[in-house]
Structure 1
């Protein structure tokens, strides 16, 4: 059919061709190509379509109709013998009922008898291999053998489709019979899977990225731990800041000892810097707890157990309600956890424990610095004596070393050069009350500044270690463990209410339609499987 007739669409030819190809393109399909004997077979559309999908002719049977309507002096002997169209399944000629036979309601038996008489008269050597009766037997035989050959593959295909639709039906769930039991079951499954993801005992463990408890462990010991370790105990603390604190703590009198007030003031300033990364640690864990809600839990590969999130997709309103409850629980615990972390830093600031067993003794630090100074002076004196012995007794003391060395040996103050430069003593006044001249420190002030620096570093490391250990414990107790312990009770308390059941367990239309389609397809596949089993028991001829 190439020309649309009546109300047929303009693309009727394309539609018919596509429909035919959708069937005959399957390798498990037998093709029956029907051709009129009084037409040119070289232009047959049926043969062209058959050759497109079956070029070797392994599954195509040709039927030649209207043998009785051929022109006088012609016959279909060459075609029926396979000399014109070679087909492995064969070529069978038939004589159809005429329109007159149909109008007069000619008996089928009479029509078959007349067909056999025509074949015996026109094609006597081929009469037994043509005709409607022979065509029916041949089609039945070919179909049965073809089914037998394709049976293993068909059986496998049906089983695969059955498993797929069973999985679809399982994911859709059964229609709700008991709303109370269904709601409690979903809440329990969700809470269990949520806690299992945190504990690392979930049925389906993620392999592409860290999630749940594993990510929290990474946050505690990698992100948070490395951030604290990267903080320099003395960062942002200049020698000028230390000297200012020392002189402010001594008032109008020169300092005879290292003032503890200056140490406490400066070390608290450094400890305060630990609060921000600690609060960031809390926020990162809170984000991970929130992200677990969005995490798609998958059923265990070896079971057909329905995962909670698939059921939540079935009930979208319940899904939204559960997300809101969990988010609310986490949101309420966040400021409590932040406050506790803030208190941890405040506790460290409240009391500077200089008697801590790991804290460097101030006396030892001072003695160590003094010892280094004395050792340096002793080396200078030995060097001077050595130089005097080479140069002779007449060599004058003023010629042995520079003026700076003589001042050092005589106990004089060290001016702003040499080792003093590393402390940045050339800083000018910036509203601190210093004059505009280059700042000069006495030996005592240099020693005091170094003592303060070492004490700050020592105590800061102690506090940092405490914070690094206490913050993860605080987050686990006030946020993570609280969510685990109270999640299910919160969900039940807020959602398990009679007036909410109908709304929460309203199933989406798409899910209901999908369940009906899957159930219908499963019935069809079960019938197909039964038919295949029956065919295998039939003895083929």
Structure 2
């Protein structure tokens, strides 16, 4: 099982190259307040001074620290040159690539420089980790993350929300279920107020992955000790509580070797806590962390394998979606054009693979425009809308000239009915416009992945289709206008569905005669005109039957009244014209409601469907255009490169994990 930590270190190296946070690897996260002794604990584990020191927030970026044990007898040299031939301990930063640091003061300076480079010279923090590897025969294999010290009050030029920033950063790292939380608390403070344990409690309420470290045991007030704390009687922590003794500031200033400090620590433990000495101290802490990390890695390994395999499959699919580099440009271009044209036509026909479920589009939308939008608009146009009785009477008089007419002049009917028919032209042209807009919208539904891969080809394709639609718009509008003009060109009063003018006139006259009889006859009390109505119903059967069979649907509400009362003759003439206009208008409206969609389908929709591919080929398939049209966008190229790198890293990680034998884990 000793091989597990180096495996995780290898995985960490692999994922550092692509900067992924998607795979949460097992690691030890160190949290604590400022001046709680975090830095001293880490340096004791390493056995060297290498961390920046000072007042306020010194750690302003997370430090991912990998400790790699090197066998002192068969030590691997960091390089083959003479300068490093006999080096026992060295460090390497991720951001400096393969540069070897044998001077740990230089490591400290590089941490400070890299921190200032990213965060600036103020005391602000940033969540951009520094990765450091330390190779030494004196360390145990560990992976630790050092975080900025928890603070409450901003100092100097720190941002006002520094407390919130640090809290969010700490919670982000310790919330990782694959992390072990190393909560550092000073012995000269109350454990019940420990901010580190409070943070750990939020994300690990059961304490299954929290280890408490009590520092500065030698600085407790006289007459007090940490027996109860170290025994877990104050605040129980399932992974345990380990006490350590830090070097004093004087020791640090005098550069007291950590080896001597650890010996002094052991002597203090034997003197102050003899019964607990074997379970405390820096050496015991290092062994405990190594053991906990190995067991934690063992528990996380199955889920880690699954996660890596799933992500590898996802990135393989993503990489496939970006397509392979183009070799035969002519063939590729023709395939993309053909696929786009087919998808465009399928969207109109309703046979596309990806059918929209949130809104109508393509052919379904065109059908809705024809039968709902256009149909309802025509139905809402009243036959006599905008036509008053005065208009009708004026037309009749103008058609008779200087002599009074014996009959209603036909010219007046034709003049008025044409005026009403012209009202159908505007909604018909609007129907063309709506279908044209939908044909334009269909382009957006046909943006295939291959087409989006090449932005210039996409733009030119949209341009070609738009121009084709634009060219067909005047032709279609002209045809729709002609349909209306055809209806205006000849008023067919012999249409089988048109009411006979003589029958209309007879019906109006009979109703006028009936009204006269009703006015001349006195009605007795309780009669209520019953006999008058009965007399009307007893008119000759043939006349009444004709009126019901042919003219029962011609009744219209009275037109707009004029300023004076119409004479019986004028009222009769107006009523005859109104009935005839309604009869003929309904015929024309029905014809237009049927003919306009057919014209649009023939001159616009079907024409574009039939000629789209040939138009695209003639406009785009030219040898001189190949290189320009098939030039990938920078975004696609970058995303393909990132996906390829991630896939390579995941495959390498999977290979590393697959090499672990089951016997090595247990």
Q: State the TM-score, normalizing by the size of structure 2.
A: 0.60
> Does residue 1:466 correspond to 2:591, yes or no?
yes
2:632 alignment partner, SS class: coil
Aligned pair partner of 1:330 in 469, 480, 484:
469
Query: How far apart, CA to CA, are the structure 2 residues paired with 1:42 and 1:533?
Result: 47
Aligned pair partner of 2:575 in 450, 457, 471:
450
Partner residue, 2:200: 53
Partner residue, 1:537: 662
> Does residue 1:199 correspond to 2:352, yes or no?
no
> Does residue 1:351 correspond to 2:490, yes or no?
yes
Query: How far apart, CA to CA, are the structure 2 residues paired with 1:20 and 1:53?
Result: 9
Encode CA deviations 1:176-205: one digit per residue, 9 max, x unaligned: 232222222222222222222222233333
Task: Measure how far apart 1:353 and its partner are.
Answer: 1.2
Query: How far apart, CA to CA, are the structure 1 residues paired with 2:648 and 2:190?
Result: 44
Partner residue, 1:220: 370
Partner residue, 2:605: 480
Query: How far apart, CA to CA, are the structure 2 residues paired with 1:475 and 1:13?
Result: 66
Structure of higher RCO (CA pairs closer than 8 Å, 6+ residues apart): 1
Q: Relative to structure 1, is the Cα distance of residues 42 and 184 closer, same or farther in structure 2, using a 3 angstrom cutoff?
A: farther
* CA RMSD after TM alignment: 4.5
Task: Measure how far apart 1:86 and its partner are.
Answer: 5.0
Q: Relative to structure 1, is the Cα distance of residues 321 and 513 closer, same or farther in structure 2, using a 3 angstrom cutoff?
A: same
Partner residue, 1:493: 618
Q: Relative to structure 1, is the Cα distance of residues 64 and 178 closer, same or farther in structure 2, using a 3 angstrom cutoff?
A: farther
Task: Measure how far apart 1:521 and its partner are.
Answer: 1.4
Partner residue, 2:650: 525
Q: Relative to structure 1, is the Cα distance of residues 311 and 54 closer, same or farther in structure 2, using a 3 angstrom cutoff?
A: farther
Aligned pair partner of 1:339 in 460, 471, 478:
478
Query: How far apart, CA to CA, are the structure 2 residues paired with 1:224 and 1:253?
Result: 45
Encode CA deviations 1:281-318: one digit per residue, 9 max, x unaligned: 111111111122234x6xxxxxxxxxx44433322211
Structure 1: gaps of 5 or more residues: 107-111, 298-307, 388-421, 428-437
Structure 2: gaps of 5 or more residues: 1-52, 59-108, 127-146, 149-165, 525-557
Query: How far apart, CA to CA, are the structure 1 residues paired with 2:598 and 2:561?
Result: 44
Partner residue, 1:504: 629
Alpha carbons 1:80, 1:91 under 8 Å: kept: yes
Query: How far apart, CA to CA, are the structure 2 residues paired with 1:240 and 1:269?
Result: 15
Query: How far apart, CA to CA, are the structure 2 residues paired with 1:424 and 1:121?
Result: 116
Alpha carbons 1:148, 1:536 under 8 Å: kept: no
Alpha carbons 2:472, 2:603 under 8 Å: kept: yes
Q: Relative to structure 1, is the Cα distance of residues 50 and 379 closer, same or farther in structure 2, using a 3 angstrom cutoff?
A: closer
Alpha carbons 2:384, 2:559 under 8 Å: kept: no
Query: How far apart, CA to CA, are the structure 2 residues paired with 1:356 and 1:230?
Result: 24
Alpha carbons 1:243, 1:449 under 8 Å: kept: yes
> Does residue 1:258 correspond to 2:408, yes or no?
yes
Alpha carbons 2:389, 2:562 under 8 Å: kept: no
Encode CA deviations 1:198-234: one digit per residue, 9 max, x unaligned: 2223333333322222222221112211111111111
> Does residue 1:26 correspond to 2:176, yes or no?
yes
Q: Relative to structure 1, is the Cα distance of residues 67 and 424 closer, same or farther in structure 2, using a 3 angstrom cutoff?
A: closer
Encode CA deviations 1:446-504: one digit per residue, 9 max, x unaligned: 43332222111100000000001111111111111112222222112111111111111
Encode CA deviations 1:361-389: one digit per residue, 9 max, x unaligned: 112111212222333445556x36x88xx
Partner residue, 2:396: 246
Q: Relative to structure 1, is the Cα distance of residues 538 and 202 closer, same or farther in structure 2, using a 3 angstrom cutoff?
A: farther
Task: Measure how far apart 1:157 and its partner are.
Answer: 4.0
Query: How far apart, CA to CA, are the structure 2 residues paired with 1:338 and 1:515?
Result: 47
Query: How far apart, CA to CA, are the structure 1 residues paired with 2:566 and 2:245?
Result: 127
Alpha carbons 2:187, 2:216 under 8 Å: kept: no
Encode CA deviations 1:217-264: one digit per residue, 9 max, x unaligned: 221112211111111111222333333333333333332333222222
Q: State which structure, 1 or 2, has the greater radius of gyration over its C-alpha atoms.
A: 1
Q: Relative to structure 1, is the Cα distance of residues 49 and 426 closer, same or farther in structure 2, using a 3 angstrom cutoff?
A: closer
Aligned pair partner of 1:210 in 342, 345, 360:
360
Encode CA deviations 1:55-97: one digit per residue, 9 max, x unaligned: 76432346789999x9xxx99988876668854324568999x
> Does residue 1:271 correspond to 2:421, yes or no?
yes
Alpha carbons 1:67, 1:76 under 8 Å: kept: yes
1:30 alignment partner, SS class: strand
1:26 alignment partner, SS class: coil
Task: Measure how far apart 1:150 and its partner are.
Answer: 3.0
Aligned pair partner of 1:143 in 284, 293, 306:
293
Partner residue, 2:319: 169
Q: Relative to structure 1, is the Cα distance of residues 25 and 241 closer, same or farther in structure 2, using a 3 angstrom cutoff?
A: closer
Moved more, 264-273 or 203-212: 203-212
| Alignment coverage as a number of residue pairs | 474
